[in-house]
Amino acid sequence: MNALRNKVAIIAGASSGIGHATARLFASQGAKVVVGARRQAPLDALVAEIAAAGGEAFALAGDVCEEGYSRSLVEAAMDRFGGLDVAFNNVGRLGTLLPAPQISLADWRQTVDTNLTSAFLAAKYQIPAMVSRGGGSLIFTSTFVGHTAGFPGLSAYAASKSGLIGLAQCLAVEFARQGIRVNTILPGATDTPMAREFMNTPEALDFITSLYPARRIASPEEIARSVLYLASDLSSFTTGSALLVDGGVSINRT
């Protein structure tokens, strides 16, 4: 199956975790991928891995909070591969894990800029490129935190990630007639470097896994497969959705 054959995709936050797994999966499904993150070395290693498996990829490091970087990623997709069909905006920052009154304004703004404003900047450049291509699929990584459940110390993270759902819904309505689909994916706890910041002791890991019916967290590859669904024509009538891929944590009461 080549669900993304002849498609060009941008994956932001691709140096590790869900973004890294998604880039490899997209490439294996026929997509040409532009991968972005802050660090160049992990991106170069990812490009080499994709090339060794017979795929095509290009890496561009930068800061998603800077508007010029969002523009450069789109320009790279168009210059290197001829256009843009799919964008997976997967960056995220937990922020300082403190009660809300103790969070500094600077840290709040940095978390919101990283998680939410960066998505606006990405869409600002990705959507026109997709429109010129005749359509496309835009995907944001949100979370169930702040949507179906709250956790202490995560107010900035929850607020900014929940904002992605509203952003996606408005963009989905604005650009549906131009063939653009916009969705958010809401993973549960996943074995990524960012999640390990939160699950940084055996006790914390035990507590988190106890919240899940299967008593385990997800692998990045499991989340990537749901991203592939939203990216591909398999989800051709899905737009404006908030897709929970949370292992049942939102409904678990056991």
Catalytic residue ranges: 157
Cβ contacts of 228 within 8 Å, gap of 6 or more: 3, 4, 22, 25, 26, 29
Residue 81 and residue 19: Cα distance in Å, rounded? 20
How does DSSP assign the chain, residue by residue? --TTTT-EEEEES-SSHHHHHHHHHHHHTT-EEEEEES-HHHHHHHHHHHHHTT-EEEEEE--TTSHHHHHHHHHHHHHHHS---EEEE--------S-GGGS-HHHHHHHHIIIIIHHHHHHHHHHHHHHHHT-EEEEEE--SBTTTB--TT-HHHHHHHHHHHHHHHHHHHHHGGGTEEEEEEEE-SBSSHHHHHHS-SHHHHHHHHHTSTTS-PBPHHHHHHHHHHHHSGGGTT--S-EEEESTTTTT---
